[in-house]
Amino acid sequence: MSNKRYSRNSVTKMLGKSVAGFATNFLWLKPKPKATSRLAMVMDLDKCIGCHACTVACKSENGVALGGSRTRVLEQEHGTYPETSRFFLSMMCNHCEDAPCITACPNDAIFKKDNGIVDINKDKCKSFGICMGACPYGAIYINPDSAPDETVKDYPARTVAKADKCNFCEHRIAEGLEPACSNTCPTDARIFGDLADPDSKVSKLVNKQQLKGLLEEEGTKPQVFYKGGMPEIFKAGKAINRRS
């Protein structure tokens, strides 16, 4: 694959660091090292045109079954005719620093990686769905089509369904590619990168423009940052924690 908008060098460098960190962490030879990368996404809502290229990119890249979604684009109408406007809001897992889903999972199936990705260990997931309720962003769904889990024989209905959500397309990052959604965004409204790298585009955007995440008052420290016009009603989360 050769989608090189996101420079292969910088990703490999970033990934190399996080892989190294991961290995030492796993071997318990040393105290847990300081995380060396903080993967993040900036959503430029001024640029987003609500085209759903990201939605479909994600579905095909990750084989997401119908009924599930790792990323969504919400839209809302505002104002009174003829001064009417419409806003789009791209949504995905916020890979929170203090992720409520991690705390909520009774099976310790959700964990944060050193590169910042919040991921789900499918072997540990028992599909209780508590994470779904805990996430203020509606970012998690139970995948009706994930591989069967032979270990949960008492709950056959649950054997084919596991919690699932965005993992920044980690398999693509490992190949030096950017996530499927930002890769195809026709207006470059999704910008992916490493906040630990002060020279990255996301760092510059987030730091210079003091960008905020959604529902920061929940204390989740989201790692998806929003730029541009967002009506209050989105901020209040009324439309956000709802899976259509």
Partner 1 sequence: MKRREFVQIAAIGSAAIFQSCDGEKPPVMEVTNPLPDGPRKEIASTCWQCVSRCSIKAFTTGDRLVKIEGNPNSLRNEGKVCAKGQAGISQMYNPDRVLYPLRRIGERGSGKWERISWETALDLLIEGGEIEGKKVKGLRTLREEGNPEKFLFHYGRMVGTDYTININYFLSAYGSSSIGNHDSICNRAGSIASRLSGDVRSSHRFEEVDIILNFGRSLLDAGIDHIPIIRQVARMRERGVKIYTFDVRLSNTAAKSDKWVPVKPGTDLAVVLAMSHVLLKKGIYNKEEIEDTANITVDELVAHLANYTPEWAESISGVPATLIEEIATEYGNAKSGACTSFRGAFMHFNGVQAQRAIYMLDVIAGNIGSTVRQTGRPNWNYPFPRPDKPAAKLDIFNGDKGQFAVPDGSVSHQILTQIKKGNGTPEVYMVYCHNPVYANGNSRENTEVYKDTEKIPFLVAVDVGISETSELADLILPDASFLERWTAEGKGTSPGIPEYYIRQPVHEPLGESRNFVDMACDIANRLDLNLGFNSAKEFVEAACNSTEGLKQAGGFEYMVEHGVWHDKEAPIRNVKRNKVQLFSQRLKDQGFPGLPSWMAHPDHENLKEDQLVMTTYKVNVHTHSRTQNCKWLMEIYHENPAWINTATAERLGIEDDDWIKLESSVGELVTKAKVTQGVHPRAISISHHLGHWAFGEYASGKKSAVNSENDSDSKLVWWKDHGMHPNVIIPNLGDPIAGSLCTNDTVVSVKKIS
Residues of this chain that interact with partner 1 (CB under 8 A) are 1-5, 46-47, 49-53, 55-57, 59-67, 77, 79-82, 84-88, 144-147, 180, 183-188
Q: What is the largest CA-CA distance in the chain?
A: 66
Q: How far is the CB of 98 from partner 1 (least distance, A)?
A: 30
Which residues on neighbouring strands pair with residue 110, listed in sequence order?
120
Q: How far is the CB of 225 from partner 1 (least distance, A)?
A: 19
Closest CB to partner 1 among residues 97, 158: 158
Among residues 93, 87, 118, the alpha carbon closest in space to that of 181 is found at 93
Closest CB to partner 1 among residues 8, 221: 8
Closest CB to partner 1 among residues 58, 215: 58
Q: How far is the CB of 186 from partner 1 (least distance, A)?
A: 4
Query: Can you tell me which residue has the tokens 């806003």?
Result: 87
Closest CB to partner 1 among residues 25, 121: 121
Q: How far is the CB of 115 from partner 1 (least distance, A)?
A: 22
Q: How far is the CB of 89 from partner 1 (least distance, A)?
A: 13
Closest CB to partner 1 among residues 41, 64: 64
